[in-house]
A and B are shown apart, each in its own frame.
Chain A
Amino acid sequence: MSNPVTRTRTGRGALLRGLAYLALALFILTPLAQTVMLSFMNTIPREGLAEGEFSLINYLNIFRSDALTSSILNSILYVTLNVALTLIAALPAAYAFSRFQFVGDRHIFFLLLAFRITPPVVLSLPVFILFAKFNLINSPVGIALVHCLFNIPIAIWILESFISAIPRELDETAFLDGYSVPRFFLTQLLPAITPGIGVAAFFCFVFSWVEVVFARILTVTAGKPITMAINSLFGFQTDIGLVMAMTVFSLVPGLAMIYFVRNHLAKGFVIRM
């Protein structure tokens, strides 16, 4: 490493850093450890199984319930749809912001910012009424569409940073060679910004997966996502072990995504005024 800061590090500094990371890991992992622990524990009175005893019963119970297993598929369906929609809409927009000045670009920036920071609860009621008219209740399309509100701005931000890092000559040569815009996007631009697509997809996936306000109001009788399936487990006698087993399941896709984008997680996010 040619970085002078890494070269001058001392043993004492490394030790302090290690301690800081240890504290951080403890802070982040303890609630998760609690969750995993409870998920392997019998938490309600059952015949032949003491409360607090180690057991796989919670995980077995997930597969015994259609509502729980199908909710996992429902979530994956609308989140995938949302990521696809967001990327298709955000890529050309990010390209426009990266390469051109145009009348109203500052206003569009303002609009995107406003939509990203508008809390879902503010829009939940009219979105429900509007989507009911278009038959988008209980449908993955409805949730995928409304999650674009906060994901498109984020995706444009990330993709714009990555596109701006590509020299303009790439576009110019391609267009001189007679590429059409769609062909240029697919064969030249996309391969050049693959990590950016990965990072944008990661954040869209995550923010759609964890969102609950829209997901709840738009699934009345069917198509319940994993978050709502977990909600319905709360009742007079909540089987907290089952809740935690389901929570552990809900973390798997997100953790897999983190692993895939690990080397690019903190790139992009450049702000150019």
Chain B
Amino acid sequence: MKPQNNGAWLYLVPALAILGFAGVVPLVAVFNYSFFDIFTLDSAFWIGGEWYREILSSERFYASLGRSLLFSLIVLSVQMPLGVGIALLLRRSGRVSVFVLMLLAVPLVVPWNMIPTMWLSLINTENGLLGMALAKLGIGFDYKFNAVHTWIVLVAMDTWHWTGLVAVLAYAGLSGIPPAYYRAAAIDGASRYQVFRYIELPKIADVMFMALLLRFMDSFMIYIEAFRINAGGPDNATTFLSLDLGEAINGFSYGSAAAHSVIYFLMVLTIAWAFRTAMDRRGRASSEAIA
């Protein structure tokens, strides 16, 4: 058990100072702006909750929210099983695993605004490897005007970008399982599925829960990548929450942008809170199981 020591707060001072300056102060400011109609920062008029009423009663907001949720749902249901599957393969691969891990990390180091450019080049019908292949096969692929095709590009691109992270986290979780567990399972004649279900899954559950949260939030608020592919089109079919906010900022509608920011931040807080509560419950359940 860790000793109780409130002096430990001193160790947190540098981190909290930076987070306070770069995070808390701007949050307070954005909360303040959201109640004003702002033409320039010197001429702002108090309008109370007007922006909130406008956003929360607009169909556009709920449509974007729905699209963002759907995108996250698709992305998670592809990337989580794929990442865990790759990690399970790696577990059995000995020295090759180092190379595969390096390969998995590569998409993470590509600047976010270049990923859409890479994918658009790839599906270009004139000199793109995939575009030319599809054209040869006689498959008409039109990401500009066919909403389903735009979605396919976005999901494929996001999967390319982030599955590596899920796999790395899952593999980190699997590495913490002592070999004795596997030996015991082998002696008991456990099947491959039973080993996964009763040994591997419980051991990686915590870290996968974290991976789930990270992937959910990052895909839920996808911005640059989605904007670059088709600017929310065709016909707003890929206009996600962040794209609405980006539009408000770029249109210099600061009050409205601030209200969007506050609403989105409240969503973030709710999700983080739900996550922590769920973690607490899991933690308590497992410590009771030990006791």
Contacts and interface: CB of A to CB of B under 8 A. Distances in A.
B147 interface: no
B5 A100 contact: yes
Interface in A34-50: 34-35, 37-38, 41
Nearest to A104: B9
A175 interface: no
Interface of A is mostly: helix
Contacts of A253: 109
A5 B182 contact: yes
B98 A262 contact: yes
Contacts, number: 284
Nearest to B4: A101
Interface in A105-150: 105-106, 108-127, 129-130, 145-146, 148-149
B118 A113 contact: no
Contacts of A230: 111, 113-114
B18 A152 contact: yes
Contacts of A24: 86, 100, 103-104
Contact of B114 (A114, A125, A206, A250): A250
B282 interface: yes
Contact of B223 (A95, A105, A209, A213): A213
B19 A152 contact: yes
Interface of B is mostly: helix
Contacts of A210: 108-112
B207 A271 contact: yes
A9 B92 contact: yes
A255 B111 CA distance: 12
B273 A110 contact: yes
B8 A96 contact: yes
A243 B127 contact: no
A113 B272 contact: yes
Interface residues of A, number: 103
Interface string B104-123: 11111111111001110110
Contacts of B210: 269, 271
Contacts of B112: 210-212, 227
A266 to B, nearest CB: 4
Nearest to B262: A122
30 contacts: A5-B182, A28-B104, A29-B103, A32-B118, A35-B121, A89-B14, A93-B12, A99-B2, A100-B5, A102-B4, A113-B276, A114-B272, A122-B245, A129-B29, A146-B22, A148-B22, A152-B19, A210-B108, A212-B111, A230-B111, A247-B118, A251-B110, A254-B109, A255-B109, A262-B98, A262-B101, A268-B172, A269-B172, A273-B280, A273-B282
3 closest A-B pairs by beta carbon, nearest first, are: A254-B109, A273-B283, A119-B221
Interface of A: 1-6, 8-9, 13, 17, 20-21, 24-25, 27-35, 37-38, 41, 52, 85, 88-90, 92-93, 95-96, 99-106, 108-127, 129-130, 145-146, 148-149, 152, 156, 206, 209-213, 226-227, 230-231, 240, 243-244, 247, 250-251, 253-255, 257-259, 262-263, 265-271, 273
